[in-house]
Amino acid sequence: MSRADERPGLPGADFEEAAAVARLRRVSVRKVAGRLLLNAILALVCAAWTLPTLGLLVTSFRDPDMVSRSGWWSAAKDPKGLSLDNYRTVLAGQDWSYVDSSGKTVKLRGENMLGAFGNSLAVTVPSVLIPILVAAFAAYGFAWLKFPGRKMLFVGIVALLAVPLQIALIPILRDYQKAGLNGSFLGVWLAHTGFGLPLATYLFYNYISTLPRSILESAFIDGASHYTCFTRLILPLAMPALASFAIFQFLWVWNDLLVALVFLSGGGRAMEVLTQRLLALAGTRGQDWHLLTAGAFVSMLLPLAVFFGLQKHFVRGLLAGSVKG
Amino acid sequence: MNGNKAAKPGAPGRWIARVAPALAAPILALAALWAGFALIKEGWISGGFAPAFAAVWGVAGAALLFFVANWSVERLGPKVRARALPFVFVGPAILVMAWYLAAPTVRTLALSFFDASSRGFAGLDNYAYVFSDRTMRIAFINNLAWLVFGTGFSVLSGLVIAIMADRSRFERVAKSLVFLPMAISFVGAGVIWRFVYAYRPEGDAQVGLLNALVTAAGGAPVNWIVERPWNTLFLIVIFVWLQTGFAMVVLSAAIKGVPGELLEAARIDGASELRVVRSVLIPSILPSIVTVATTTLLLTLKVFDIVYAMTNGLYGTEVLASQQYKQMFKFLHYGRGSAIAIVILVAVTPMIWYNLRQFNKREAFS
């Protein structure tokens, strides 16, 4: 176009200009079409990723008869068939009864998901907090205390980062059987602590060792001990690293099946966590989709809440944990 | 810090007064914690309150042990303190890791040379079994399929979605939706996908999404998780559905780090958008792609929950980790279970070696 501007009087300039405009328009039409296509494909991908979960959610509210008679996508035709009854059945522990629409009293056995929810909490909270505590102490020790074998030990921790936990199942199970730890919360906490510690120590060391040394020195001048310095100064400062690991470990432990199956099964049905309970439900009620979907959703509730509530930290935590074996 | 000096010969009484509590305190603390454990274990505290009590007891117990250990060491005078304090800090972590990860590698290796009950020496019998048994061969082949397709599809779809999202105005929403399954457990995902794959005989109403689509298109319903060898692929789809979010987030961050001028220069040279992506964008984020691929690959080597929850290894879907679990709990064969664990460990050794090399290269540890 600039060429055409330079030679305004020459014949053909108008034509050239028009051609350039047409070319530009063609490019922009193609651009818009391309963008539309891109967004359409992206929307399709999102649908493919979301529909399975949506189907679960919708089915969990539907009437058992409806669930077996039609697909969940037709639930909108009959919004009256939606209720919380399925949740009542899966959450309840004992038999419970209700009066149905024809006035009959129906008795049902609950699936005790609520009890499993409590067990999952009892397993997860200490399995997240204990490794954080132990690893934070260790990271402080490695970063700021001098002792023989310091480097060797830390190299050992790095080597353990990718060791698969399968390696530990049989020896630890035998130790537990001897010590009476099999089927106890303590046994599962210690196992999750052991399997999570290399990652936690490694992450916290990387963070704590970069904090400025001057903070520490001024604290020592004021007469603080290493312990006070750690609990009062370093722990609060290391919060971002602790939080990242906490989210990763929370998801890991909450969603874990293998460790619970191996070390908690000895405790019987009363100690089952959500993943175990859901698995048992799938075994005994494999075709009762209304209960299975409600149970699955109960097990996903807390992780999804964390996902939506703390999305940024959630992603950061998962990325930090990706080196774990 | 209590003004303690090394014990003087003339004051044994004072020395004892100082040392005795320092030794007694940890013992008392341990005893108290053990009593709490016994209370829970023997069912003295039961009902809905028990899990909450146990959780508080566990966390408070761990904190108490650190507090008491430090208090004791502080009392023992500056010389002992300087020596012992580092071990108050790193000791518990080292002990737990030694017990739960370091020692088990050696112990599992030893067990893999013994028979089912770990009493009689079995030589290489367990390894002979692992590499010759028919079911194990299926497990190896399936694990290879998991490794290739699970990793390949996760990274590929993560990459494609990351590139597309980068060029879309709905980037945030799209990325959130694809990342969401990362919050779901493998067992939960198993239930979600069992429902997608649900099969009813021809003529019945199909409640599973996939068979509904198939029958709507005029086809006959398929029992997806029974059809070998494709059923392993259908299980892998679940893994890909869960893991793509991870690949997408890492690669998306890498894409944002590629300087815009680089892409613009290629565009001005007349390269098509596809060409820009292939010859400029992908080469510049290659290191991130490799990182994501190795991480995902490690996961596929240890995949257990999906198989266990979906088919329990039936219909020829067995993998290494599910075989190990079966050898442990169904056949009670600790020798074979250990041998399979060693095979998994050997498969991840390159990663361990790589981690160590990266660590040495950084020389962050002085």
* pLDDT reported for residue B97: 94
| C-alpha triplet A71, B158, B223: angle, nearest 5° | 35
Spatial distance between the Cα atoms of B31 and A31, rounded to a whole number of angstroms:
74
A-chain CB neighbours of B65 within 8 Å are: none
pLDDT of residue B46: 61
Per-residue pLDDT tens digits for B258-317: 888 888 888 888 888 888 888 888 998 898 898 889 889 988 998 898 998 888 878 888
DSSP string, A236-265: HHTHHHHHHHHHHHHHHHHH--HHHHHHHG
* Residue that is written with structure tokens 């950084």 in the block: B362
Question: Residue B54 and residue B46: Cα distance in Å, rounded?
Answer: 10
Q: Is residue A217 very low, low, confident or very high in pLDDT (cuts 50, 70, 90)? A: confident
Cβ of A294: how many Cβ atoms within 10 Å?
28
CA pair distance B54, B60, nearest whole angstrom = 10
Dist CA B13 CA B15 (whole Å)? 5
Instruction: Give A186's contacts in chain B (Cβ within 8 Å).
Output: 37, 54, 58
Give the distance from residue A113's alpha carbon to the nearest chain B alpha carbon, in angstroms: 13
Within 13 Å and on the Cβ side, how many CA atoms surround A125?
15
Distance CA A189, CA A203 (A): 20
With an 8 Å Cβ cutoff, are A197 and B207 in contact? no
Name the pLDDT band for A3 (thresholds 50, 70, 90): very low
Note whether A84 contacts B: Cβ–Cβ < 8 A.
no
pTM of structure: 0.86
Q: How confident is the model at residue A4 (pLDDT cuts 50, 70, 90)?
A: very low
Beta bridge partners of A107: A97
Query: In which band, very low, low, confident or very high, does the pLDDT at A260 lie, cut at 50, 70 and 90?
Result: very high
Interchain pair B359, A147: CB under 8 A: no
A151 in contact with chain B, both atoms CB, cutoff 8 A:
yes
Phi, psi of A225 (to 5 degrees): -85, 170
What's the token pair of residue A137? 């102490």
Query: Would you state the pLDDT for residue B356?
Result: 87
pLDDT, tens only, B323-358: 999 998 888 899 999 999 999 999 989 888 888 888
Beta strands A105-109 and A95-99: pairing type?
antiparallel
In this prediction, residues A3-18 reach a mean pLDDT of: 56
Which residues of chain A lie closer than 8 angstroms to B62, CB-CB?
Answer: 126, 129-130, 133-134
The answer to whether the CB atoms of A171 and B103 lie below 8 A apart is yes
Flag if A167 and B342 touch (Cβ within 8 Å).
Answer: yes
* Cα separation, A75 vs A67, whole angstroms: 9
Q: Is A113 on the interface with B (CB under 8 A)?
A: no
Please enumerate in sequence order all residues whose Cβ is within 8 A of that of A165, keeping only pairs 6 or more positions apart, or say none.
Answer: A195, A258, A259, A325, B101
How does pLDDT run across B16-60, given as a tens digit for each residue? 777 788 788 888 888 888 887 777 776 666 666 777 788 888 888
pLDDT tens track for B69-92: 888 888 887 888 888 888 889 999
pLDDT at B216 over 70: yes
Q: How far apart are CA B163 and CA B276, in angstroms?
A: 11
By the 10 Å C-beta count (0-12 exposed, 13-18 middle, 19+ buried), B198 is classed as: buried
The confidence band for A2, taking pLDDT boundaries of 50, 70 and 90, is: very low
Structure confidence at residue B237 (pLDDT): 93
A309 pLDDT band, cuts 50/70/90, is: confident
What domains sit in chain B, N to C, each tagged with a CATH number? 12-111 (no CATH), 128-362 (1.10.3720.10)
Out of A164, A197, A282, closest to residue B96 by CB: A197
ipTM above 0.90, yes or no: no
* A28: number of Cβ within 10 Å: 10
Tens of pLDDT, residue by residue over A80-110, are 777 787 888 778 766 656 666 676 766 666 6
Tally of CA atoms within 13 A in the half-sphere of A100 that contains its CB: 8
Nearest CA in chain A to B241: A49
Cβ atoms of A279 and A257 within 8 Å: the answer is yes
Residues of chain B neighbouring A155 (CB-CB closer than 8 A) = 356, 359
Quote the CA–CA distance of A302 and A308 in Å, as a whole number: 10
CA distances from residue B91 to A34, A128, B70, B140 in whole angstroms, order as listed: 60, 19, 12, 40
Is a pLDDT exceeding 80 seen at residue A111?
no
* Helix residue spans in chain A (DSSP H): 2-6, 13-60, 64-69, 85-91, 113-144, 150-160, 166-179, 185-208, 213-221, 226-228, 235-237, 239-255, 258-264, 274-284, 289-309, 311-320
Q: Which of B4, B192, B362 to mutate to test the interface with A (most CBs of A within 10 A)?
A: B192
Identify which of B85, B174, B328 has the shortest CB distance to residue A170.
Answer: B328
Mean pLDDT, residues A22-35 taken together: 77
Task: Answer for the pair B146, B319: CB distance below 8 angstroms, yes or no.
Answer: yes
Q: Which of B309, B34, B43 is nearest to A270 (CA)?
A: B43
Radius of gyration of chain A (CA): 30
Least confident of A103-117, B215-229, B345-359: A103-117
Band of the pLDDT at B159, cuts 50, 70, 90? very high
In the structure encoding, which two tokens stand for residue A58, read together?
């919708």
pLDDT at A127: 93
Average pLDDT (B158-178) is: 89
Three-class secondary structure of residue A10 per DSSP: coil
- DSSP notation for B278-292: IIIIHHHTHHHHHHH
Are the C-beta atoms of residues B54 and B96 closer than 8 Å to each other?
no
d(CA B73, CA B85): 7
Structure tokens at B112: 């893999």
Closest in A134, A262, A289 to B195, CB measured? A289
Residues sharing a CB contact under 8 Å with residue B358, sequence separation 6 or more, in sequence order: none
CA–CA min distance B321, chain A (Å): 8
Q: What is the pLDDT of residues A118-131, one digit of tens each?
A: 889 989 999 999 99
Q: Among partner residues A56, A256, A300, which is closest to B195 by beta-carbon distance?
A: A56
